[in-house]
Amino acid sequence: MENLIALGEKYVMNTYKRLPHVLVKGSGSYVWDSEGRKFLDFVSGIAVNSLGHCPQVVTEAIKEQAEKLIHCSNLYWIEPQIKLAKLLVEKSCCDKAFFCNSGTEANEAAIKLARKWGQGRYEIISMEKSFHGRTLGSLAATGQAKYQEAFKPLPAGFKYVPFNDLEALEAAITPETCAVMLECIQGEGGVNVPEPGYLEGVQEICRKNNLLLILDEVQTGLGRTGKAFAYQHFNLSPDIITLAKALGGGVPIGAMLAKDEVAKAFQPGDHAATFGGNPLATAAALAACSVLLDEEFIVEVAKKGEYLKGELEKLKAEFPQIIKVKGLGLMVGCELNTDALPIVESCMQKGVLINAVGGNILRFVPALTVTKAEIDQLVSTLKEALSESGK
Ligand SMILES: Cc1ncc(COP(=O)(O)O)c(C=O)c1O
Q: What CATH number did the domain enclosing 109 receive? A: 3.40.640.10
233-283 pLDDT, tens digit each: 999 999 999 999 999 999 999 999 999 999 999 999 999 999 999 999 999
29-71 pLDDT, tens digit each: 999 999 999 999 999 999 999 999 999 999 999 999 999 999 9
Mean pLDDT of the chain: 97
Contacts of 14 (CB under 8 A, 6+ apart): none
Please indicate whether residue 260 is annotated as part of the active site.
Answer: no
Asked if residue 229 has pLDDT above 70, the reply is: yes
Exposure of 273 in the CB half-sphere (CA atoms within 13 A) = 18
305-341 pLDDT, tens digit each: 999 999 999 999 999 999 999 999 999 999 999 999 9
Please indicate whether residue 216 is annotated as part of the active site.
Answer: yes
6-16 pLDDT, tens digit each: 999 999 999 99
Contacts of 1 (CB under 8 A, 6+ apart): 20, 21, 22, 33, 34, 35
- Pocket lining for ligand 1, CB < 6 angstroms: 46, 102-104, 107, 131-133, 183, 187-188, 216, 218-219, 244
Ligand 1 centre from 36 Cα, in Å?
31
Rounded CA-CA distance 301/298 in Å is 5
Task: Tell me which of 39, 98, 131, 319 is the catalytic residue.
Answer: 131
* Residue 78 placed within a domain: yes
Predicted TM-score (pTM) above 0.95:
yes
Whether residue 173 sits in one domain with residue 310: no
Question: Which of 40, 128, 82 has the alpha carbon at shortest distance from 354?
Answer: 40
Domain ranges, residue 371: 295-391
Confidence at residue 2, expressed as pLDDT on a 0 to 100 scale: 84
Whether residue 374 sits in one domain with residue 254: no
188-220 pLDDT, tens digit each: 999 999 999 999 999 999 999 999 999 999 999
The domain tally of the chain equals 2
- Average pLDDT (380-390) is 94
The residue contributing the CA closest to ligand 1 atom 7 is 103
* Residue 63 placed within a domain: no
Confidence of residue 391 (pLDDT cuts 50, 70, 90): low
Whether residue 304 sits in one domain with residue 196: no
Rounded CA-CA distance 84/128 in Å is 33
Query: Which ligand 1 atom is the nearest neighbour of the CA of 134?
Result: 11
